[in-house]
Amino acid sequence: MNITKLYENTWRIDDGGVRFFLLAGSERALMVDAGMTTKDAKSAAESLVNVPVELIITHADPDHIAGADAFDKFYMHPAEAYNYYKSQHRAGEFIPVWDGDALDLGGRSVEIIHLPGHTQGGIAVLDVGARALFSGDPVQRNGSIFMFGANRDLHAYVSSLERLYAMRDRFDLIYPAHADCPVTPDIIPALRDGALGVMSGRIKGERADMHGHAIRRCDAGVSVLLCDCDE
Protein backbone atom coordinates (compact mmCIF):
# COMPACT_ATOMS: atom_id res chain seq x y z
CA MET A 1 0.00 0.00 0.00
CA ASN A 2 1.32 3.42 -0.96
CA ILE A 3 -0.22 6.76 0.07
CA THR A 4 0.21 9.96 -1.96
CA LYS A 5 -1.22 13.40 -1.22
CA LEU A 6 -2.99 14.74 -4.33
CA TYR A 7 -4.03 18.18 -3.12
CA GLU A 8 -5.30 19.79 0.07
CA ASN A 9 -7.00 17.22 2.34
CA THR A 10 -7.07 14.64 -0.48
CA TRP A 11 -5.07 11.42 -0.75
CA ARG A 12 -4.59 8.58 -3.20
CA ILE A 13 -4.03 5.12 -1.72
CA ASP A 14 -2.59 2.51 -4.11
CA ASP A 15 -3.40 -1.12 -3.37
CA GLY A 16 -1.86 -3.36 -6.00
CA GLY A 17 -3.64 -2.87 -9.31
CA VAL A 18 -6.30 -0.56 -7.92
CA ARG A 19 -6.41 2.69 -6.01
CA PHE A 20 -8.87 4.32 -3.65
CA PHE A 21 -9.08 7.86 -2.32
CA LEU A 22 -9.70 9.89 0.81
CA LEU A 23 -11.35 13.34 0.83
CA ALA A 24 -11.50 15.18 4.15
CA GLY A 25 -13.66 18.08 5.27
CA SER A 26 -13.80 19.83 8.62
CA GLU A 27 -16.45 17.44 10.02
CA ARG A 28 -15.86 14.08 8.32
CA ALA A 29 -13.80 12.35 5.67
CA LEU A 30 -15.05 10.24 2.78
CA MET A 31 -13.12 7.20 1.60
CA VAL A 32 -13.92 6.47 -2.05
CA ASP A 33 -13.78 2.64 -2.31
CA ALA A 34 -12.01 0.23 0.03
CA GLY A 35 -9.23 -1.44 -1.92
CA MET A 36 -8.52 -4.90 -3.29
CA THR A 37 -6.37 -6.53 -0.60
CA THR A 38 -6.13 -3.94 2.18
CA LYS A 39 -8.42 -5.17 4.94
CA ASP A 40 -7.28 -2.27 7.17
CA ALA A 41 -8.17 0.41 4.62
CA LYS A 42 -10.20 2.25 7.26
CA SER A 43 -7.23 2.34 9.64
CA ALA A 44 -5.00 3.67 6.87
CA ALA A 45 -7.51 6.45 6.18
CA GLU A 46 -7.95 7.27 9.88
CA SER A 47 -4.20 7.73 10.24
CA LEU A 48 -4.36 10.66 7.83
CA VAL A 49 -7.18 12.72 9.38
CA ASN A 50 -8.63 13.82 12.71
CA VAL A 51 -12.30 13.46 11.73
CA PRO A 52 -14.54 10.37 11.38
CA VAL A 53 -14.03 8.40 8.18
CA GLU A 54 -17.02 7.21 6.13
CA LEU A 55 -17.06 4.98 3.05
CA ILE A 56 -18.65 5.37 -0.36
CA ILE A 57 -18.45 2.53 -2.90
CA THR A 58 -18.25 3.48 -6.58
CA HIS A 59 -19.26 -0.08 -7.46
CA ALA A 60 -19.13 -3.48 -5.80
CA ASP A 61 -16.59 -5.41 -7.85
CA PRO A 62 -14.27 -7.31 -5.50
CA ASP A 63 -11.22 -5.12 -6.10
CA HIS A 64 -13.09 -2.12 -4.64
CA ILE A 65 -14.60 -3.53 -1.44
CA ALA A 66 -11.87 -5.45 0.42
CA GLY A 67 -11.98 -3.13 3.44
CA ALA A 68 -15.73 -2.48 3.48
CA ASP A 69 -16.36 -4.83 6.41
CA ALA A 70 -14.68 -2.34 8.76
CA PHE A 71 -17.60 0.06 8.27
CA ASP A 72 -20.97 -0.44 9.96
CA LYS A 73 -22.63 1.53 7.16
CA PHE A 74 -21.51 2.83 3.80
CA TYR A 75 -22.87 4.84 0.88
CA MET A 76 -23.79 3.03 -2.34
CA HIS A 77 -26.21 3.40 -5.23
CA PRO A 78 -29.15 0.98 -4.73
CA ALA A 79 -28.71 -0.48 -8.22
CA GLU A 80 -25.39 -1.91 -7.01
CA ALA A 81 -26.99 -3.92 -4.19
CA TYR A 82 -27.32 -7.11 -6.24
CA ASN A 83 -23.64 -6.98 -7.12
CA TYR A 84 -22.62 -6.35 -3.49
CA TYR A 85 -24.88 -8.80 -1.68
CA LYS A 86 -25.58 -11.53 -4.24
CA SER A 87 -22.59 -11.62 -6.57
CA GLN A 88 -19.94 -10.78 -3.96
CA HIS A 89 -21.73 -12.33 -0.95
CA ARG A 90 -20.98 -9.37 1.29
CA ALA A 91 -22.92 -8.11 4.30
CA GLY A 92 -23.53 -4.73 5.93
CA GLU A 93 -25.96 -1.85 5.66
CA PHE A 94 -25.80 0.65 2.85
CA ILE A 95 -27.06 4.22 2.81
CA PRO A 96 -28.56 4.87 -0.63
CA VAL A 97 -27.15 7.67 -2.77
CA TRP A 98 -28.77 8.79 -6.01
CA ASP A 99 -27.66 10.74 -9.02
CA GLY A 100 -27.29 14.40 -8.08
CA ASP A 101 -27.11 13.82 -4.32
CA ALA A 102 -24.67 16.04 -2.44
CA LEU A 103 -22.71 15.12 0.69
CA ASP A 104 -21.37 17.88 2.93
CA LEU A 105 -18.08 16.90 4.56
CA GLY A 106 -17.85 20.20 6.42
CA GLY A 107 -16.85 23.09 4.19
CA ARG A 108 -16.47 20.67 1.29
CA SER A 109 -19.24 19.34 -0.93
CA VAL A 110 -19.14 16.23 -3.12
CA GLU A 111 -21.79 15.25 -5.66
CA ILE A 112 -22.85 11.81 -6.84
CA ILE A 113 -22.99 11.05 -10.57
CA HIS A 114 -24.62 7.76 -11.61
CA LEU A 115 -22.61 6.05 -14.37
CA PRO A 116 -24.27 2.73 -15.28
CA GLY A 117 -22.65 0.50 -17.87
CA HIS A 118 -19.53 -1.01 -16.28
CA THR A 119 -21.92 -2.01 -13.49
CA GLN A 120 -25.57 -1.14 -13.00
CA GLY A 121 -25.07 1.01 -9.93
CA GLY A 122 -21.68 2.50 -10.69
CA ILE A 123 -21.11 6.07 -9.57
CA ALA A 124 -18.49 8.78 -9.76
CA VAL A 125 -17.79 11.28 -6.99
CA LEU A 126 -17.33 14.93 -7.96
CA ASP A 127 -15.28 17.11 -5.61
CA VAL A 128 -17.19 20.24 -6.53
CA GLY A 129 -14.84 22.94 -5.24
CA ALA A 130 -11.68 21.27 -6.48
CA ARG A 131 -13.21 20.48 -9.90
CA ALA A 132 -11.96 16.90 -9.58
CA LEU A 133 -13.84 13.72 -10.54
CA PHE A 134 -13.22 10.33 -8.91
CA SER A 135 -14.56 8.04 -11.62
CA GLY A 136 -14.16 4.47 -10.42
CA ASP A 137 -13.63 2.20 -13.45
CA PRO A 138 -15.56 3.61 -16.47
CA VAL A 139 -12.98 6.26 -17.45
CA GLN A 140 -9.42 4.99 -17.93
CA ARG A 141 -6.38 5.70 -20.07
CA ASN A 142 -4.14 2.72 -20.90
CA GLY A 143 -6.35 0.41 -18.86
CA SER A 144 -8.60 -2.62 -19.39
CA ILE A 145 -12.27 -1.94 -18.70
CA PHE A 146 -14.38 -4.99 -17.89
CA MET A 147 -17.53 -4.97 -20.04
CA PHE A 148 -18.32 -8.71 -20.09
CA GLY A 149 -20.83 -10.60 -18.00
CA ALA A 150 -24.41 -10.10 -16.86
CA ASN A 151 -23.71 -6.95 -14.85
CA ARG A 152 -22.28 -4.94 -17.80
CA ASP A 153 -23.92 -3.18 -20.72
CA LEU A 154 -22.30 -1.22 -23.56
CA HIS A 155 -25.46 0.71 -24.40
CA ALA A 156 -25.68 2.12 -20.88
CA TYR A 157 -21.92 2.73 -20.90
CA VAL A 158 -22.14 4.88 -24.03
CA SER A 159 -25.03 6.87 -22.57
CA SER A 160 -23.10 7.45 -19.33
CA LEU A 161 -20.02 8.64 -21.19
CA GLU A 162 -22.05 11.04 -23.31
CA ARG A 163 -23.73 12.49 -20.24
CA LEU A 164 -20.42 12.76 -18.39
CA TYR A 165 -18.79 14.57 -21.31
CA ALA A 166 -21.68 17.05 -21.37
CA MET A 167 -20.73 17.87 -17.75
CA ARG A 168 -17.04 18.39 -18.52
CA ASP A 169 -17.16 22.10 -17.66
CA ARG A 170 -17.51 21.04 -14.00
CA PHE A 171 -14.19 19.17 -13.67
CA ASP A 172 -10.63 19.61 -14.91
CA LEU A 173 -9.07 16.31 -13.85
CA ILE A 174 -10.33 12.74 -13.49
CA TYR A 175 -8.86 10.32 -10.94
CA PRO A 176 -9.63 6.73 -12.09
CA ALA A 177 -9.29 3.65 -9.92
CA HIS A 178 -6.98 1.96 -12.46
CA ALA A 179 -4.31 2.77 -15.04
CA ASP A 180 -3.08 6.35 -15.66
CA CYS A 181 -3.92 8.89 -12.98
CA PRO A 182 -4.97 11.63 -13.34
CA VAL A 183 -6.45 11.94 -16.82
CA THR A 184 -8.30 14.74 -18.59
CA PRO A 185 -11.91 14.82 -19.87
CA ASP A 186 -10.80 14.65 -23.52
CA ILE A 187 -10.50 10.85 -23.29
CA ILE A 188 -14.24 10.44 -22.66
CA PRO A 189 -15.37 10.76 -26.32
CA ALA A 190 -12.60 8.38 -27.38
CA LEU A 191 -13.94 5.75 -24.98
CA ARG A 192 -17.47 6.37 -26.25
CA ASP A 193 -16.35 5.99 -29.88
CA GLY A 194 -14.58 2.75 -28.99
CA ALA A 195 -17.71 1.34 -27.35
CA LEU A 196 -19.79 2.37 -30.37
CA GLY A 197 -17.24 0.67 -32.61
CA VAL A 198 -17.65 -2.58 -30.70
CA MET A 199 -21.44 -2.34 -30.85
CA SER A 200 -21.45 -1.67 -34.60
CA GLY A 201 -18.92 -4.39 -35.39
CA ARG A 202 -16.30 -1.92 -36.61
CA ILE A 203 -13.95 -3.02 -33.82
CA LYS A 204 -13.83 -6.81 -33.95
CA GLY A 205 -11.40 -7.49 -31.13
CA GLU A 206 -9.40 -10.61 -30.37
CA ARG A 207 -10.63 -13.72 -28.59
CA ALA A 208 -9.15 -14.24 -25.13
CA ASP A 209 -9.83 -15.91 -21.78
CA MET A 210 -10.42 -13.88 -18.61
CA HIS A 211 -11.06 -15.62 -15.28
CA GLY A 212 -12.58 -18.59 -17.12
CA HIS A 213 -14.74 -16.42 -19.40
CA ALA A 214 -14.35 -16.38 -23.18
CA ILE A 215 -14.13 -12.68 -24.08
CA ARG A 216 -13.03 -10.30 -26.80
CA ARG A 217 -10.25 -7.76 -26.19
CA CYS A 218 -11.36 -4.68 -28.12
CA ASP A 219 -8.81 -1.91 -28.51
CA ALA A 220 -10.65 1.40 -28.13
CA GLY A 221 -7.46 3.41 -28.60
CA VAL A 222 -7.16 4.97 -25.16
CA SER A 223 -8.04 1.72 -23.34
CA VAL A 224 -9.04 -1.87 -24.05
CA LEU A 225 -12.67 -2.89 -23.60
CA LEU A 226 -13.04 -6.50 -22.44
CA CYS A 227 -16.38 -7.52 -23.96
CA ASP A 228 -18.65 -10.53 -24.32
CA CYS A 229 -17.93 -12.65 -27.39
CA ASP A 230 -21.48 -12.17 -28.69
CA GLU A 231 -21.49 -8.37 -28.18
Q: Are 77 and 97 in contact (CB under 8 A)?
A: yes
- Res. 229: pLDDT tops 90: no
Over 70: is that where the pLDDT of 231 sits? Answer: no
Q: Is the pTM value of this prediction over 0.85?
A: yes
Q: Which residues of 207-224 are buried (b: 16+ CB within 10 A; e: fewer)?
A: eeeeeeeebbebebebbb
Query: 228 pairs with which residues across the strands?
Result: 215
Question: What is the per-residue pLDDT for 39?
Answer: 83
pLDDT digits (tens, 9 = 90+) for 198-228: 999 999 999 999 888 899 999 999 999 999 9
CA 147 from centre of chain = 14
Averaged pLDDT for residues 96-117: 98
Helix axes 154-166, 187-200, angle to 10 degrees: 150
User: Is the per-residue pLDDT at 230 higher than 80?
Assistant: no
Cis amide prior to 96 (ω within 30 degrees): no
Beta-carbon contacts of residue 117 (< 8 Å; ≥ 6 apart): 138, 147, 152, 153, 154, 155, 156, 157, 158, 159, 160, 161
Domains and CATH numbers, the chain: 2-185 (3.60.15.10)
pLDDT above 90: residue 186: yes
Q: How does pLDDT run across 2-59, given as a tens digit for each residue? A: 999 999 999 999 988 899 999 999 999 999 999 999 888 999 999 999 999 999 999 9
Q: How many CB atoms lie within 10 A of CB 133?
A: 26
pLDDT tens figures, 54-87:
999 999 999 999 999 999 999 999 999 999 999 9
- Residue 150: per-residue pLDDT: 84
Chain segment 88-101, per-residue pLDDT in tens: 999 999 999 999 99
